[in-house]
Structure 1
Amino acid sequence: MFTLAQLSGFVAVAEELHFTRAAERLRMTQPPLSRQMQLLEEGLGVRLLDRTNRSVRLTPAGRAFLTEARRILRQAERAALAARQVSTGEAGSIAIGFTATSAHAPLGDLLAVARRTVPEAEVVLRELVTRDQLEALAEGTLDLGMVRPALLGPGLRSRPAIREGLLAAVPGGHPLALRAGPLEVADLDGQEFLMYSPVEGRYFHELLISVFRAARVAPVFTQYLSHVHSILALVNTGWGVAVVPESAEQMRFDGIVFRPLTLPDPRPVELDLVWREANDNPVLGTLLRHL
């Protein structure tokens, strides 16, 4: 019916109302521009311009067509810009998974980088435990995961994000809460303890089991839970004590006292970034380059 070049030519003529000035604006000569307008009118089957040797005027049909021609050209420009931004990773979307505790400082740092480097991209956030993130990454429904170290399936790559220490979370009225300074692992021996699930909370479960075995202490596990915030909610009610990563201290509970826990490795908790190597999402590539 018509081309974008014909629309651009028509808009220039309609705004200049002069073929020579319109041709100069488009950096072309007048005869090709005149031919474009003829082809445009023939294709539409209507007269858009009244032309004489001295003047050019828009017909009523031309005035109506001018509004739509401008809209189509603006939409074409937006489409071209969107395609360029997506191809370079400046726009598009990215799905990011995170664990409960990484929703604090680590996730905030990552989002700050995303806002700076891919401000036009849509960021979709999903809170998932490590196991579910790895499944979503393998299925292609997640672009980037913030997970605890785990055995990665084929095609997945990772890099370390942060390391942090552990804190003892103690109910406010508990004897351990009244002590000043760090606690020893031995202080947890025989204490009613809120433990991580060996399935959904596997990373922290295995980490704490190794810590307790090395120190030869045996807390009394009263509940097994999947999420740090669920564990802290029960500590807050006085149900028992727990051990959580340092970043969990940012979850404010009035009834909990946090105490540093003395360990041979002061920063045993790891968080990794994981993605599928075959993922060709340009936004992911741009974000990884700037992290």
Structure 2
Amino acid sequence: MYTLDQVRCFVAVAEHLHFGRAAFELNMTQPPLSRQIQKLERHVGAELLDRRGRNVELTAAGRLFLTESRKLLGLAERAPEGARRVASGRKGLVRMGFTAAAGFGPLSGLLSTVKAELPDLDIDLVEMVTAEQLQALDEERIDLALGRLHTPLPHLESRLLLKERLLLAVPADSDLAQLDRELTKSDIRGQSVIMHSATKARYFYDIIVGNFEIEPSRVKYSLGQIMTMVSLVAGGHGVAFVPESAEAGRVPGVEYLRFSDFDADVVHLHALWRPDSSNPALAAFVSALS
């Protein structure tokens, strides 16, 4: 197999078309330079230089090999820097899970922040509800999750990214949308509710049942995806509790109403990751969130 030194010798001769000048550039004498070119040609299996005249000329094979040689040398020069970037976490891949609502909230700004700090980092996005993200983290199918938790999980590291209010999404032509005031909890009585699933969206389910009186007979659907719930609200199928960031979805036919007696920032979004992850890019990603 030929060596990078042989390739460098060939490129120098090909660019100068003169063995003496190429040898001077490479800080060597002509005889060893000629031997390196001859070894290279034997490995390649073709003459790369035409030495028959007074001047050195590139053969057709030599012209093609020169183009590829320049690429090869460029790659060889960049490879150590690329390896250092991967080792430092500045280059590589982070697989990130996120909830649909996070896609309308902090996700875009978060990605912009990280890419500004780590432009060579690749980020693979996977939309999942929080429960699915936690399972994917445990199975190491993702490196980082954007999810919602009531209490920290001891086996995961976390960072709070966002606090927001809980709103009520209602059909734009509903009586609630016509009220000339903010809602109160009592306004929910008698409303058909599109509810969060107790299994797939436990975080929101617990907040709602812990703070509102929802008649079981008024629950029309139980779902895990917020934007699906908002779409059903737009169709007039009921009202739904959603995080404030869902407003950014701007689904036609939906109004987002606030509660005067429940205005705390109860909806929290966390970045979650495994502290034992071996992915150096993850540490750089988390550091960029600061």
Aligned-pair CA distance for 1:166: 1.4
Distance 1:125 1:43, change over 3 A: closer
Deviations 1:233-266 (A, max 9, x none): 2222222222211111122233222211134562
Tell me, yes or no, if structure 1 residue 211 matches structure 2 residue 215: no
With 141-150 and 232-241 compared, the bigger mean Cα shift is at 232-241
With 250-259 and 3-12 compared, the bigger mean Cα shift is at 250-259
Deviations 1:200-235 (A, max 9, x none): 0100000111112xxxx3443232111111221222
Tell me, yes or no, if structure 1 residue 180 matches structure 2 residue 180: yes
Partner of 1:11: 11
Alpha-carbon distance between aligned partners in 1 of 2:68 and 2:112, rounded to the nearest angstrom: 40
Amino acid at match of 2:139: E
Partner of 1:111: 111
Aligned partner of 2:246 among 226, 248, 258: 248
Amino acid at match of 2:122: E
Alpha-carbon distance between aligned partners in 2 of 1:235 and 1:59, rounded to the nearest angstrom: 72
With 152-161 and 242-251 compared, the bigger mean Cα shift is at 152-161
With 146-155 and 245-254 compared, the bigger mean Cα shift is at 146-155
Amino acid at match of 1:281: N
Alpha-carbon distance between aligned partners in 2 of 1:240 and 1:63, rounded to the nearest angstrom: 72
Is the 1:170–1:177 Cα contact (8 Å) retained in structure 2? yes
Distance 1:172 1:29, change over 3 A: same
Partner of 1:273: 271
Alpha-carbon distance between aligned partners in 2 of 1:285 and 1:24, rounded to the nearest angstrom: 47
Deviations 1:49-98 (A, max 9, x none): 4669x754445654454344334324434544543433333332221111
Is the 1:194–1:223 Cα contact (8 Å) retained in structure 2? yes
Distance 1:36 1:264, change over 3 A: same
Aligned partner of 1:238 among 208, 222, 236: 236
Q: What is the 5 A alignment of 1:191-202?
A: 191-202=191-202
Alpha-carbon distance between aligned partners in 2 of 1:57 and 1:173, rounded to the nearest angstrom: 82
Distance 1:253 1:63, change over 3 A: closer
Q: What is the 5 A alignment of 1:1-291?
A: 1-26=1-26, 28-30=27-29, 33-41=33-41, 43-44=43-44, 48-49=48-49, 55-58=55-58, 62-77=62-77, 79-149=79-149, 155-212=155-212, 217-219=213-215, 220-263=218-261, 266-291=264-289
Amino acid at match of 1:288: V
TM-score (norm 2): 0.86
Is the 2:185–2:262 Cα contact (8 Å) retained in structure 1? no
Q: Report the count of equivalent residues.
A: 286
Distance 1:66 1:251, change over 3 A: closer
Alpha-carbon distance between aligned partners in 2 of 1:254 and 1:62, rounded to the nearest angstrom: 64
Is the 2:105–2:246 Cα contact (8 Å) retained in structure 1? no
Aligned-pair CA distance for 1:272: 0.3
Alpha-carbon distance between aligned partners in 2 of 1:163 and 1:177, rounded to the nearest angstrom: 25
Deviations 1:122-150 (A, max 9, x none): 32211100000011111111111100015
Is the 2:166–2:263 Cα contact (8 Å) retained in structure 1? no
Distance 1:12 1:222, change over 3 A: same
Alpha-carbon distance between aligned partners in 2 of 1:65 and 1:230, rounded to the nearest angstrom: 57
Report the 3-state secondary structure (helix = DSSP H, G, I; strand = E; otherwise coil) of the residue aligned with 1:21: helix
Gapped regions of structure 1 (runs ≥ 5):
none
Gapped regions of structure 2 (runs ≥ 5):
none
Is the 1:97–1:127 Cα contact (8 Å) retained in structure 2? yes
TM-score (norm 1): 0.85
Is the 2:91–2:281 Cα contact (8 Å) retained in structure 1? yes
Amino acid at match of 2:280: P
Deviations 1:152-209 (A, max 9, x none): 6664211111000111222223222211232111221333222111000100000111
